[in-house]
């Protein structure tokens, strides 16, 4: 075949493909046939975050099954949710491919995505097609670009840092550490760690804590002994780690096994399940952010019900945090579809700005109804804190969910 | 608080680990002239083996040592053959690619089997001693003793034994060593096997006080290069001293220097040393 013929053939094929693709995207979202409405779960089903990405998908599936079993979306004449999943492979590049596939399939909304880089990349695609996307990734930039169809349903970095500050302040008061308790802060020298530290420092601008030392360490540090030695050298009442979950666990291991000096409080941005799996009883005393658990005082009945359904289907003894996230995201989309009465993406995005998701509509968190502000962030993002005691997470903050008072780190 | 004493102790202990990793790497680089990029990967394999043994079967990492020794000799033999096979066809580039491929293979396999979450063991099988507000575990002391023993014994072996001098001869001039009757392929194979055995056992020994991640191999590889640069290619005693020095400088810098400067301290030491040191080969 002559080169000119080959080029002409390729060009023709490309034009046909583009026309077909434009045809399926043109409405900016749509229904998957007369009886269903397509919703995409674009998340990490393989790669480093696949465990929690799978949890998120399972949570969304549980919600979709319930909506369909209850007669579908009433505002759309009972159309059923047709859930479609797309794997980002925990990579921004694949997130773009997955987002393109979802848009081509004509989804009315997208939920999912755990790392900020992939959500930033993927939402560039969905925004062009006017498809709303709700994600749990934390970067401020996700909703800071002025896209009116991008939403965050967990605390952003700034919101989380402010919550950490309030939680630590509460714990210090509960333990009666004095007017201005002393603290040392170990910070991961990464964009993430620095971002949290900056917001944390802003929250502490009133001087609630007397920060004796702030030690920064490269994210590649494999041995944090010297960092811990330095943070403890001024005998702080509190040790605060603002870094990745693995850092918090590594520091806890050192505190529990290597250093004789113990602060009264050790707070780490870590993960409860991993800390318990890795350290067992050596994790005792840590204070960690957490998702909802059945041990919460006044845990919502709906959360307890859904936990039973989830564990009956997938095993385990709890509904993982990101399964709750996936469930709530799907319920948010369902509420917006009901309110908008259309499968058009732009209209669904507009409706999302006005939703108020209470327990009856699918909010599993023990908090006020979930609602988005103008930027697309939650006005009162759910965040809870537990202390590991006797190898179990005990809810300690906020007080409306606390099952016990915090105890001094030993 | 005893900050200085604490950072010196933690620095020497972490330095001993760097020494152990560097000793095997410098041996194979000096004798077989192979930059075995997979060296750190075998350390990582040892760490995960310790984790797997304890989690799945509640076996202490130290109980696994005899089994690991046999497995590592067999694996080392196969890897040495692989290096020889590629090296004979494509030269040093082929050997480098074999090492790099093995490193990626090990990292990928570990990620597949254990996921990306860091893994750590909590064991106090060897007890601990208290010094200056620190609890030093028996595992850390064992690693330090192993570094000291391996570094000194290998140095003495290469310098003073007949077989060691043969290894040294292979390192300096393989063709001439062959003409004098030294079995060059055997010497190269022995150095690869020995380095892999040291790497794997290092992983087992350090697992109780380290954090294992699938990409630990690459991190250890960088440490091994730093030790070789400072200690001299093929110089096991130099690797021992270099590892301890890097660990100490890193710890003191983390303890005392402003946070922006601390990570640069070990690099500054290496750079300075490179500028002033004489070029040295095998001990």
Angstroms from A401 CA to nearest CA on chain B: 29
Report the alpha-carbon distance of residue A296 to residue A394 in Å, rounded: 8
Cα end-to-end span (Å), chain A: 78
C-alpha distances out from residue A322 to A50, A57, A325, B46, Å: 11, 9, 5, 33
Neighbours of B66 (CB within 10 A): 9
Domains along chain A with CATH numbers: 36-155+300-361 (3.40.50.2300), 158-295+384-397 (3.40.50.2300)
Q: Does B56 touch chain A (CB under 8 A)?
A: no
Q: Which tens digits make up the pLDDT trace of A187-205?
A: 988 778 888 899 899 999 8
Interchain contact, B120 vs A279, CB within 8 Å: yes
Domain count, chain B: 1
Interface check for B91 against chain A (CB to CB < 8 A): the answer is no
For residue A396, what pLDDT band results from cuts at 50, 70 and 90? very high
Q: What is the pLDDT of residue A18?
A: 40
Q: Which of B120, B250, B260 sits opposite A249 (nearest CB)?
A: B120
Contact B34, B190 (CB under 8 A): no
Q: Does B14 contact A234 at a Cβ distance shorter than 8 Å?
A: no
* Cβ–Cβ below 8 Å for A282 and B130: no
B195 band by pLDDT with thresholds 50, 70 and 90: very high
How does pLDDT run across A219-245, given as a tens digit for each residue? 777 778 888 998 998 899 999 999 888
Q: How far apart (Å, rounded) are the C-alpha atoms in residues A80 and A32?
A: 9
Q: Which residue has the higher pLDDT, B263 or A13?
A: B263
Gap from B105 CA to chain A (nearest CA, Å): 16
Residue B80 lies in a domain: yes
Angstrom CA distances, A7 to A4, A19, A21, stand at 5, 18, 21
Identify the band that residue A338 occupies on the pLDDT scale cut at 50, 70 and 90. Answer: very high
Which of A51, A222, A229 lies at the smallest CB-CB distance from B3? A229
The pLDDT value given to residue A7: 46
Query: In sequence order, what are the beta bridge partners of A182?
Result: A210
Let me know: does A192 contact A253? Beta carbons within 8 Å. Answer: no
Q: What is the mean pLDDT of residues A89-110?
A: 92
Residue of chain A whose alpha carbon sits nearest to that of B206: A223
- Arithmetic mean of pLDDT over chain B: 86
Residues of A in contact with B115 (CB under 8 A): 48, 51
Tallying the residues shown for chain A, one arrives at: 410
Average pLDDT of span B187-209: 91
Contact (Cβ atoms closer than 8 angstroms) between residue A109 and residue A134:
yes
DSSP classification of residue B279: P
CA quadruple B220, B54, A249, B44: dihedral, nearest 10: 10
Q: Considering the domain boundaries, does residue B24 fall inside one?
A: yes
In angstroms, the first-to-last Cα distance of chain B is: 41
Contact A45, A54 (CB under 8 A): yes
| Domain contains B60 | yes
Question: For residue B100, what are the domain limits?
Answer: 2-276
* Residue A52 · residue A66 · CB < 8 Å: no
Percentage, residues of chain A above pLDDT 70: 91
Arithmetic mean of pLDDT, B107-115: 86
Looking at residue A26, what is its pLDDT? 34
Tell me which long-range contacts B155-159 makes (C-beta under 8 A, separation of at least 24). Answer: B155/B235, B155/B236, B155/B237, B155/B240, B155/B283, B158/B234, B158/B236, B158/B282, B158/B283, B159/B283
Between β-strands B128-131 and B134-137, what pairing exists: parallel, antiparallel or unpaired? antiparallel
Does residue A135 carry a pLDDT above 90? Answer: yes
Average the pLDDT over A140-147 and give the result: 91
Inform me whether the pLDDT recorded for A156 exceeds 80. yes
| Residue percentage of chain A with pLDDT more than 90 | 61
Cβ of residue A279 closer than 8 Å to a chain B Cβ: yes
Q: What is the CATH number of the domain that holds B66?
A: 1.10.3470
* Cα distance between residue B214 and residue B261, in whole Å: 28
Percent of chain B surpassing pLDDT 70: 96
A14-24 residue pLDDT tens: 444 443 333 33
Res B278: pLDDT: 58
Contact B171, B164 (CB under 8 A): no
State the Cα–Cα distance between residues A3 and B283, nearest whole angstrom.
Answer: 63
Sign, CA dihedral A276-A281-A286-A292, equals: positive
Residue B282 pLDDT greater than 50, yes or no: no
B130 or B71, greater pLDDT:
B71
State mean pLDDT over B22-44. Answer: 88
Q: CA B40, CA B203: separation in Å to the nearest integer? A: 9
Give per-residue pLDDT as tens, B218-246.
878 887 888 888 888 888 898 999 999 98
Q: Which two tokens stand for residue A249?
A: 């666990």
Average pLDDT over residues A386-405: 93
Query: pLDDT per residue over A260-318, tens digit each?
Result: 899 999 999 888 888 888 888 899 999 999 988 888 988 899 999 999 999 999 988 88
Supply the Cα-derived Rg of chain A in whole angstroms.
23
* Residue B282 in domain: no
Q: Could you give the CA distance from residue B103 to residue B109 in angstroms, rounded to a whole number?
A: 10
Mean pLDDT of chain A: 87
Q: What is the ipTM of this complex?
A: 0.75
Residues of A in contact with B10 (CB under 8 A): 223, 225-226, 229
Q: What is the pLDDT of residue A38?
A: 96
Query: Tokens 């020794």 belong to which residue?
Result: B69
Q: Which residue of B has its CA nearest to A282?
A: B122
pTM for the complete prediction?
0.79
pLDDT at B280: 54
Judged by CB atoms closer than 8 Å, whether chains meet at B211 and A222 is answered as: yes
A233 contacts on B by Cβ (under 8 Å) = 1, 3, 6, 255
Q: Is the pLDDT of residue B145 over 60?
A: yes
**Is B47 at the interface with chain A, CB within 8 A?**
no
Could you read off the pLDDT of A64-80 as tens digits, one per residue? 999 999 999 999 999 99
At residue A129, the pLDDT reads 93
Find out whether A227 and A184 touch, Cβ atoms under 8 Å. Answer: no
pLDDT at A28: 39
pLDDT greater than 80 at residue B1: no
């Amino acid at each position: 075949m002559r080169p000119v013929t080959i080029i002409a053939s390729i060009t023709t094929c490309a034009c046909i493909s583009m026309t077909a693709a434009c045809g399926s995207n043109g409405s900016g979202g749509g229904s998957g046939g007369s009886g269903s409405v397509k919703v995409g779960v674009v998340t990490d089903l393989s790669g480093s975050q696949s465990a929690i990405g799978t949890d998120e998908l399972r949570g969304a599936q549980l919600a979709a099954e319930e909506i369909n079993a209850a007669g579908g979306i009433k505002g759309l004449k009972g159309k059923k949710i047709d859930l479609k999943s797309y794997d980002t492979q925990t990579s921004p590049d694949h997130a773009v491919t997955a987002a393109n596939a979802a848009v081509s399939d004509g989804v009315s909304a997208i939920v999912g995505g755990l790392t900020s880089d992939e959500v930033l990349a993927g939402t560039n695609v969905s925004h062009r097609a006017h498809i709303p996307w709700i994600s749990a990734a934390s970067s401020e930039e996700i909703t800071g670009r002025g896209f009116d169809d991008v939403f965050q349903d967990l605390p952003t970095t700034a919101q989380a840092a402010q919550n950490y500050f309030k939680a630590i302040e509460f714990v210090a008061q509960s333990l009666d550490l004095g007017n201005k308790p002393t603290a040392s802060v170990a910070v991961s020298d990464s964009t993430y760690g620095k971002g949290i530290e900056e917001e944390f420092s802003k929250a502490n601008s009133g001087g609630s804590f007397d920060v004796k030392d702030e030690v920064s360490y490269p994210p590649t540090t494999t041995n944090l002994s010297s960092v811990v030695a330095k943070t403890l050298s001024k005998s702080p009442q509190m040790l605060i780690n603002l870094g990745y979950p693995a850092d918090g666990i590594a520091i806890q291991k050192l505190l529990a096994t290597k250093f004789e000096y113990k602060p009264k409080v050790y707070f780490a941005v870590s993960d409860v399940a991993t800390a318990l799996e890795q350290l067992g009883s050596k994790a005792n005393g840590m204070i960690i952010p957490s998702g909802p658990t059945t041990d919460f005082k006044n845990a919502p009945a709906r959360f307890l019900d859904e936990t039973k359904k989830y564990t009956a289907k997938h095993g385990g003894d709890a509904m993982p945090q990101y399964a709750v996230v996936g469930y709530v995201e799907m319920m948010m989309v369902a509420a917006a579809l009901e309110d908008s009465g259309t499968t058009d993406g732009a209209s669904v995005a507009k409706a999302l700005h006005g939703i108020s998701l209470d327990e009856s509509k699918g909010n599993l968190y023990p908090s006020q109804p979930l609602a988005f502000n103008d930027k697309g962030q939650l006005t009162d993002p759910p965040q809870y804190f537990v202390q590991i005691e006797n190898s179990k997470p005990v809810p300690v903050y906020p007080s409306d969910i606390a099952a016990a008072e915090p105890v001094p780190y030993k | 608080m005893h900050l200085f004493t604490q950072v010196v102790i933690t620095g020497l202990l972490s330095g001993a680990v760097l020494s152990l990793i560097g000793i095997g790497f410098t041996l194979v680089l000096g004798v077989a002239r192979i930059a075995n990029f997979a060296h750190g990967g075998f350390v990582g394999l040892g760490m995960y083996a310790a984790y797997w043994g304890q989690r799945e079967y509640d076996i202490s990492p130290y109980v696994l040592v005899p089994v690991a020794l046999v497995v590592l000799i067999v694996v080392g033999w196969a890897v040495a053959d692989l290096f020889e096979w590629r090296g004979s066809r494509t030269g040093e580039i082929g050997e480098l690619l074999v090492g790099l491929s093995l490193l990626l293979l090990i990292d990928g396999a570990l990620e597949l089997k254990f996921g990306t979450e860091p893994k750590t063991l909590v064991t106090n099988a060897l007890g601990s001693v208290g010094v200056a507000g620190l609890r030093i575990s028996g595992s850390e002391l064992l690693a330090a003793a192993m570094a000291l023993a391996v570094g000194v014994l290998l140095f003495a072996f290469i310098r003073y034994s007949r077989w060691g001098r043969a290894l040294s001869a292979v390192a300096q001039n393989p063709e001439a060593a062959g003409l004098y009757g030294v079995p060059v392929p055997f010497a190269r194979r022995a150095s690869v096997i020995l380095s892999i055995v040291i790497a794997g056992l290092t992983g087992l020994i350090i697992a109780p006080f380290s954090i294992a991640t699938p990409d630990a191999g690459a991190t250890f590889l960088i440490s091994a290069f730093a030790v070789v640069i400072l200690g001299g290619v093929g110089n096991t005693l130099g690797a021992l001293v270099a590892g301890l020095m890097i660990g100490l400088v890193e710890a003191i810098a983390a303890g005392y220097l402003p946070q922006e400067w601390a990570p640069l301290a070990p690099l500054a030491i290496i750079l300075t040393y490179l500028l002033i040191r004489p070029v040295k080969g095998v001990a």
